[in-house]
Amino acid sequence: MLSITLIQANLVWENKVANLQRFEQKINEINQPTQVVVLPEMFSTGFSMNPSTLAESMEGETVQWMKKIAAHHKIILTGSLIIEENNQFFNRLLWVLPNGMIGTYNKRHLFAFAGENNHYSPGDQRFIGSVNGWKINLQICYDLRFPVWARQQVTNVPEFDVLIYVANWPERRSHAWKSLLVARAIENQCYVIGVNRVGCDGNNIAHSGDSMVIDPLGEVLYCKNNLEDIYTIAFNKTNLQEIRTKFPFWKDADKFNILIDN
Catalytic residues: 41, 107, 141
In the chain, the amino acid numbered 44 is S
Distance CA 55, CA 86 (A): 12
Provide the 8-state DSSP code for 83. Answer: E
Query: How far from 159 is each of 26, 36, 43, 76, 128, CA to CA, in Å?
Result: 32, 19, 28, 20, 9
Percent of residues in the chain assigned helix, strand, coil, to nearest 5: 30, 30, 40
Residues with Cβ < 8 Å from 94, sequence gap 6 or more? Answer: 63, 66, 77, 78, 79, 80, 81, 102, 103, 104
Distance CA 70, CA 47 (A): 23
Q: What are phi and psi of 11, to 5 degrees?
A: -115, 140
Distance CA 106, CA 92 (A): 4
Please, is 14 exposed, middle or buried when counting C-beta atoms within 10 Å of its C-beta (0-12, 13-18, 19+)?
Answer: middle
3-state class of 130 per DSSP?
Answer: strand
In the chain, the amino acid numbered 233 is I
